[in-house]
Amino acid sequence: MIEDRYVELFDVVKAYPNPFGEAIKVVDGFNLLVKQGELVSVIGHSGCGKSTVLNMIAGLIPISSGGVIVAGREVTGPGPDRAVVFQAPCLLPWLSCYGNVMLGVKQVFPDATKAERNQMVEYALCAVGLRDSMHKYPKEMSGGMQQRVGIARAIALRPKMLLLDEPFGRLDSLTRMELQDVILNILNFEKITTMMITHDPDEAVYMSDRICMMTNGPHAKVGEVMDIHFERPRDREEIMETADFYEYRRRLLQFLDDCEKEKEARKKVKAG
C-alpha cells in the first residue's frame, strides 16, 4: 500500500501576500501520488511554480495549505531524507569533493565508523564517475564535474527521496546527456524515488516513468500526467528511434503550447 503512495502531495497551495495584503496563490491545489522507486518529472513553463513545489517537498519553504507526505511522514521542514540537487552545484568551495560529500555523511550517519563513512563517500563519488578527482576542489573542476559532486552528495545520504531541481539547467547539451545517464545508472541500482524538475521535453521523456505537466501560474496545478512505458534500463539511441518517443514528445509540446495559448487568451481578456 505504502509503495503506491510513497510520496503524496495533497491539495498543496503556496500563497505569497502581495503588497496589498491579498494572498496570491502561485501553486493552487497541486495533487500527485508517486510510487516507490518511480522517477517523476515535473515540466512546465518557466515561472509556473515547478521549483516552488519541489522546494515545498524539500521543506525549504513552508506550505501554505494542504500537505506533503513522504514515506508515511508529513513534511514539516528540510531534512536529509529528501536530498536535493540544486540547479547550481552549491558546493562548499573550501572543501574538496570528498569533504563536501563527507559533510553530509557525517551528519546523517553519526554512528558509523570512520571506515564505513569513508566507504560511503567513495562509493557515491565512484558512482558519479569521480573516482580520480575525489580530492580536487570545486574551483578546479568544470560545471559538469561539480554537478556530479552535487549528485554524489545527495545519493550518499541514502535518501528516501531524491529531488532534482533542473539539475542540468546550466550545462551544455553534451554534458547534460552524460549526466542524465549518470543519474539513470544510479537509479537503476538504488531505486530511489525521484522527482525531477525540468523544462526539456526530451530529457523528461527519456528519463521519467511519469511526466507531470503543470499549468501556467498563478494558480498552477497538475494539468496532465503522462505515463512513459519504456523499459528500464534505457538506451538512449534505441528509445530515440521508437515512434513512441516522438508521440510522447508531441503530446508534451502540445500541452505546453496549449498552456501558452490559454495564457495569451487570459491576458487578452484581462486587457480587454
Partner 1 sequence: MAESAKDKVKYKILKALDVSGFTAFDPVIRLIFGEEPQKQLQAIVKYLVIPFFFVLACLWIWTWMGPRHKTKSGEVPTPDIVWESAVINDTIADREEIKEQDFLLEGVEREAALAEVTKEYAVLSEEVKRLKELVATAEAEKAELEAKAIGPIQEKHDALKAEYKLAEKERDEGIAAISEEVAAGKADTASLIAAIRDDGVATDAERAELSALKSQIDEIRSQKYKPLEEARKSYDKVADAQFFMKTRLEFLDKRNLTVKLDEAQSKLDGYMTDLASAGSAKDALKIAKRAVKAEESVDRLEGQEYASAVTIYHQTKRSIFTVFVGFFMAAFVAIPVGIMCGLNKIFMACLTPIISVFKPVSPVVWLLIFQIVVGAFFPDPENHALLNFLNELPLISSLEINPALIFSACTVAMCAVWPALVNTALGVSSIDQDHINVARVLRLGFWNRLFKIVIPSALPLVFAGLRISLGVGWMVLIAAEALSSSDGLGKFVWDEYQNGSSLTFANIIMVCFVVGIIGFLLDRMMIVLQRFVSFDGGGTSV
Q: Is 86 in the site for partner 1 (CB under 8 A)?
A: yes
* CA 149/CA 147 separation, integer angstroms: 5
Among 84, 152, 161, 252, binds partner 1 (CB under 8 A): 84
Specify the residue, 21 or 93, whose C-beta has the smaller distance to partner 1. Answer: 93
Among 17, 19, 20, 94, binds partner 1 (CB under 8 A): 94
Widest pairwise Cα distance in the chain: 68
User: Contact 43/211 with Cβ under 8 angstroms?
Assistant: yes
- Site stretch for partner 1 (CB under 8 A), options 43-51, 86-94, 124-132, 225-233: 86-94
Give the per-residue contact string, 97-136, with partner 1 (x = CB under 8 A; - = no).
Answer: ------xx--xx----------------------------
User: Contact 91/137 with Cβ under 8 angstroms?
Assistant: no
Q: Is 143 in the site for partner 1 (CB under 8 A)?
A: no
Beta bridge partners of 225: 212
- Site stretch for partner 1 (CB under 8 A), options 75-83, 167-175, 203-211, 261-269: 75-83
Q: Is 142 in the site for partner 1 (CB under 8 A)?
A: no
Long-range CB contacts (within 8 A, 24+) of 102-105: 103/153, 104/80, 104/153, 104/156, 104/157, 105/156, 105/157
- Site stretch for partner 1 (CB under 8 A), options 8-16, 34-42, 76-84, 194-202: 76-84
Among 83, 120, 128, 212, binds partner 1 (CB under 8 A): 83
Q: Is 71 in the site for partner 1 (CB under 8 A)?
A: no
CA nearest 211: which of 26, 8, 38?
Answer: 38
Tell me how far the alpha carbon of residue 42 is from its chain's centroid: 8
CB-CB neighbours of 264 under 10 Å: 10
153: which 3 cell numbers? 552528495
Q: Is 270 in the site for partner 1 (CB under 8 A)?
A: no
* Site for partner 1, rule CB under 8 A: 58-60, 77-80, 82-84, 86, 88, 90, 92-95, 103-104, 107-108, 137, 139, 157
